[in-house]
A and B are shown apart, each in its own frame.
Chain A
């Protein structure tokens, strides 16, 4: 095997060629993202500091710079703290359930025989393939107040009529319960499959060696398997955090079926429900969402970048 013995000059040249080639490969992405995401993103940032409305565009008048007024207005508005808390709470709840459930199911998959494994995989696949809007419609109907399956089942099980017309979506807590079921149900398959593939990268010799050394099941998991799949999980975790903070379709669709919107809004829906064309405020809310997400996933991102260095 050739040992690289380059002079410093060749090092630098190679470094520059590397950089040039790299940037050349990145140009299509940068161009696309700069136009379709960068430009709207920067516009959003700019607009959050102004009082820009549709009127300004129609009448050709410029918007006024209002500094942090929009942010102040949003943060101090009476319903914002609750919406924020709820958004973060739902995100934490769903993300935890999805990650834990996904990993557990992945482990289960390793313990199953071929046939059962295929069956479970097909089931997960079907759950994953259903579009979120459709899933919300179907689950919403299953939990329907008057004609839902759940109420009928609960009545059948308890042998009573207590669950007749039980409005699942009315109580904000049970609304979140239904929402969580929908989101977790649809998201676990992705984590399960990803973790399962990740588990496939753990060399069996290491596990067997640990068994021989007398490590129990839990110790094997925690000390050997988990560190091995942590990078995979780390990447998936960031995605789940982002997706669960941005939850919109399921919440909005579920709110149209029932419940009290003010008690069940999450940030993206809250943003959507602001008045038409109040770009200053909606942009401020958008900015806040990004800032919060960055803050939450900061640690995870740094970890990932550090591992990337190795």
Chain B
């Protein structure tokens, strides 16, 4: 049996693909599991549902002692407010913040995947001194609380004249996402047995050719999964965005924060609508991309 220990991985490669399922014997067991599944579903989905529910509820009915599962007088007014109103006077509005976030996330995911991919190959495929030091370094680097380094990073970005620029924030995000990405991608690369490349080499491919033709396609699910993680980290990042960006360059989380605190009496309906709007691109991205993650995650569930 091949060593499963080398697979600190998330997704199994296509060759050994197997969607895990143990056939359940007997109807009572099946019913029980279905009930459990339903409970998990409801618990997971309920706050999301509640958020959407409140988004459609008019402001004066949200602050009420009589909550209702479905809005009694559904309204789109909250969404209109969330979409059109600047977070605070002089600041950006939702569509602009959306654009900013999308640009930054795109840059971050591409750069982080590129940098981390190279590093993970080095870590998983090569034997060299200092390899373990680098791995431990990657972990230690993730342990430092961002709050302790906030000002130093700010001054660093300031000295590079990148305060309040998309490039500056993207740089900070890439740096904060790369350690985790390397850590995860390393597992994926390690999960593709080197024998596959070696047999391709025997068949006449050079080493790089073997890599691109054989191993790389098997890494696609891994790249996609880590791409999603990187996407979410950058999309939701708040503290540094708050510090570095202002005015027209706000990202979505900071936009929401400003939107929430700018009004003296919190307009809960609009805040909930804004929150819903922020989640939509993430969900869309997920749904688009999850089809490519064969052998794991949701697609695995679909294949049954």
Contact = CB atoms under 8 A, between A and B. Distances in A.
Q: Do chains A and B touch in the complex (CB under 8 A)?
A: yes
Contacts of A131: 235-236, 253, 275, 278-279, 282
B129 interface: yes
Interface in B158-183: 171-172, 174-176, 178-180, 182-183
Contact of A138 (B47, B171, B182, B297): B47
Given A108-B36, A126-B45, A127-B45, A134 B142 contact: no
23 contacts: A19-B129, A21-B126, A22-B128, A25-B126, A26-B122, A26-B134, A28-B114, A37-B149, A111-B29, A117-B304, A123-B44, A133-B238, A137-B275, A138-B275, A142-B50, A147-B62, A200-B296, A201-B9, A235-B187, A271-B145, A271-B148, A283-B148, A308-B190
Contacts of B148: 44, 271, 282-283, 285-287, 289
Contact of B50 (A138, A152, A268, A290): A138
Interface in B1-60: 1, 3-12, 16-22, 24, 29-30, 33-34, 36-38, 40-45, 47-48, 50-51, 54
B239 interface: yes
Contacts of A172: none
A232 interface: yes
Contacts of B152: 39-40, 43-44
Nearest to B295: A200
A250 B63 CA distance: 22
Nearest to A193: B297
Interface of B: 1, 3-12, 16-22, 24, 29-30, 33-34, 36-38, 40-45, 47-48, 50-51, 54, 62-67, 114-116, 118-119, 121-123, 126-129, 131-132, 134-136, 139-149, 151-153, 156, 171-172, 174-176, 178-180, 182-184, 187, 190, 199, 202, 232, 235-236, 238-239, 253, 256-257, 260, 268, 271-272, 275, 278-279, 282-283, 286, 290, 295-298, 300-302, 304
B95 to A, nearest CB: 18
Contact of B145 (A18, A39, A286): A286
B180 A239 contact: yes
A220 to B, nearest CB: 9
A8 interface: no
B297 A197 contact: yes
**Nearest 5 CB-CB pairings of A with B:** A286-B148, A36-B175, A114-B304, A123-B44, A197-B296
Contacts of A197: 9-12, 295-297, 300
Contacts of B290: 125
A41 B141 contact: yes
B232 A28 contact: no
Contact of B178 (A33, A185, A231, A287): A33
A40 B149 contact: yes
B24 to A, nearest CB: 5
A36 B143 contact: no
Given A152-B67, A203-B1, A293-B143, 17 more contacts: A33-B175, A33-B179, A36-B153, A36-B171, A36-B175, A117-B302, A120-B44, A126-B45, A127-B48, A132-B236, A134-B275, A147-B63, A201-B9, A239-B142, A290-B144, A307-B5, A308-B6
B175 A290 contact: no
Contacts of A267: 145
Nearest to B49: A126
Given A197-B10, A197-B300, A41 B149 contact: yes
A197 to B, nearest CB: 4
B125 to A, nearest CB: 8
A129 to B, nearest CB: 4
B51 A123 contact: no
Contact of B20 (A130, A202, A239, A289): A202
A125 B298 contact: yes
B267 to A, nearest CB: 13
B157 to A, nearest CB: 9
Interface in A101-146: 105, 108-114, 116-135, 137-139, 141-142, 146
A2, A116, A197: residue with the most chain B Cβ atoms closer than 10 Å: A197
Interface string A76-115: 0000000000000000000000000000010011111110
Nearest to B51: A138
A166 interface: no
Do most interface residues of chain B lie in helix, strand or loop, or is the interface mixed? helix
Do most interface residues of chain A lie in helix, strand or loop, or is the interface mixed? helix
A242 B238 CA distance: 18
A108 B37 contact: yes
Contacts of B268: 141
Contacts of B8: 231-232, 234-235, 304, 307-308
Nearest to B13: A201
A18 B128 CA distance: 7
A212 interface: no
Contacts of A254: none
Contacts of B283: 125-126, 129
A223 B26 CA distance: 24
A18, A135, A137, A185: residue with the most chain B Cβ atoms closer than 10 Å: A137
Contact of B4 (A29, A201, A293): A201
Contacts of A124: 40, 44
Given A2-B202, A310-B5, A123 B45 contact: yes
A65 interface: no
B12 to A, nearest CB: 5
Nearest to B112: A32
